[in-house]
């Protein structure tokens, strides 16, 4: 339920934002939290998806048949290139994960969805000054590289899946998500535009996943290896 605590504040501030602006820069829900955020956002008493700003942003995305076809192609990819037992990425479409995330983009610029052993899903939009300088401006959908790119009227929508890293022995799951998010935010503090190109996005997600794996293999809630000096070295 904590994942929805920010939504009333978003509702109260929406009138201040235009189609290319966003109330919240970053959010990292897991799959259950994403579903809860979507449900609460679209229902009374908030009903955020009836707000004119939501409609304006969604219209600006210009997501049509091409985006749906690219997403369906991505959904046919295996979750892991090394473990076919995990199945395909069909859950992104069948469970509405991608659709829910896109519908929340008018409120959150970057959604980094933690999918457990199914990996990480990044769904984001790029607009404003970043539109002309972003490496995504020259990119198009590439299901082989696990990403879908849609060029809207004045912004770009990106959806990319990152497979989970292999962990030989899991000692303790407590703190793994916090280690992931903490490393991600530490990286963004030093390199705020890390989401603006395919290469830098892959680097930052890999670093954060590696941090989570270290904690999964530790008896502590946060692995002692994630010291300030070690984090800077990895970044």
Residue whose C-alpha is closest to residue 38's, from 79, 4, 2, 69: 4
Claim to verify: residue 153 and residue 214 sit in the same structural domain: no
User: Residues of the chain with pLDDT > 90: what percent?
Assistant: 69
- What pLDDT does residue 235 have? 43
Claim to verify: residue 108 and residue 200 sit in the same structural domain: no
Claim to verify: residue 118 and residue 102 sit in the same structural domain: yes
45 token code pair = 């008493």
Claim to verify: residue 225 and residue 127 sit in the same structural domain: no
**Of 164, 193, 224, which one is at a domain's C-terminal end?**
164
- What pLDDT does residue 228 have? 52
* pLDDT (average), residues 47-57: 95
Q: What are phi and psi of 77, to 5 degrees?
A: -70, 150
Claim to verify: residue 90 and residue 196 sit in the same structural domain: no
Claim to verify: residue 119 and residue 10 sit in the same structural domain: yes
**Of 147, 164, 181, which one is at a domain's C-terminal end?**
164
Residue 3 · residue 37 · CB < 8 Å: yes
* pLDDT (average), residues 47-62: 95
Residue 109 · residue 103 · CB < 8 Å: no
Claim to verify: residue 51 and residue 80 sit in the same structural domain: yes
**DSSP three-state, residue 130:** helix
* Average model confidence (pLDDT) across the chain: 90
Q: How many domains does the chain have?
A: 2
Claim to verify: residue 77 and residue 174 sit in the same structural domain: no
pLDDT at 11 over 50: yes
**Of 136, 164, 192, which one is at a domain's C-terminal end?**
164
pLDDT at 219 over 70: no
Q: At what angle do helices 97-104 and 31-42 cross, to 10 degrees?
A: 60
> What confidence tier does 80 reach under pLDDT thresholds 50, 70, 90?
very high
Give the C-alpha distances (Å, rounded to integers) separating 31 from 17, 92, 97: 27, 10, 8
Claim to verify: residue 171 and residue 119 sit in the same structural domain: no
pLDDT at 28 over 90: yes
Cα angle for residues 71, 133, 140 (degrees, 5° grid): 25
Claim to verify: residue 121 and residue 224 sit in the same structural domain: no
Claim to verify: residue 24 and residue 65 sit in the same structural domain: yes
- What pLDDT does residue 229 have? 38
- What pLDDT does residue 209 have? 92
- What pLDDT does residue 231 have? 47
Q: For residue 226, what are the domain limits?
A: 167-235
Claim to verify: residue 182 and residue 235 sit in the same structural domain: yes
> What confidence tier does 216 reach under pLDDT thresholds 50, 70, 90?
confident
User: Residues of the chain with pLDDT > 70: what percent?
Assistant: 93
Q: Which residue has the higher pLDDT, 163 or 170?
A: 163
């Amino acid at each position: 339920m904590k994942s929805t605590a920010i939504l009333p504040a978003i509702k109260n501030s929406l009138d201040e934002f235009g189609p290319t602006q966003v109330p919240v820069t970053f959010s990292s829900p897991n799959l259950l939290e994403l579903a809860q955020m979507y449900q609460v956002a679209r229902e009374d008493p908030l009903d955020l998806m009836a707000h004119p700003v939501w409609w304006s942003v969604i219209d600006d995305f210009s997501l049509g048949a091409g985006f749906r076809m690219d997403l369906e192609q991505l959904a046919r990819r295996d979750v892991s290139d090394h473990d076919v037992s995990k199945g395909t990425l069909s859950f992104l479409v069948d469970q509405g994960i991608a659709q829910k995330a896109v519908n929340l983009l008018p409120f959150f610029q970057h959604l980094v969805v933690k999918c457990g052993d199914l990996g990480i899903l990044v769904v984001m939009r790029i607009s404003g000054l970043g539109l002309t300088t972003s490496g995504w401006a020259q990119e198009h959908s590439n299901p082989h590289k696990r990403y879908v790119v849609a060029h809207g009227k004045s912004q770009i929508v990106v959806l990319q899946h990152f497979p989970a890293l292999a962990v030989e022995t899991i000692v303790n799951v407590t703190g793994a998500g916090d280690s992931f998010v903490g490393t991600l935010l530490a990286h963004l503090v030093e390199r705020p535009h890390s989401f603006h190109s395919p290469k830098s996005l892959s680097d930052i997600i890999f670093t954060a996943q590696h941090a989570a794996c270290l904690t999964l293999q530790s008896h502590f809630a946060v692995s002692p290896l994630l010291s300030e000096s070690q984090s800077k070295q990895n970044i």
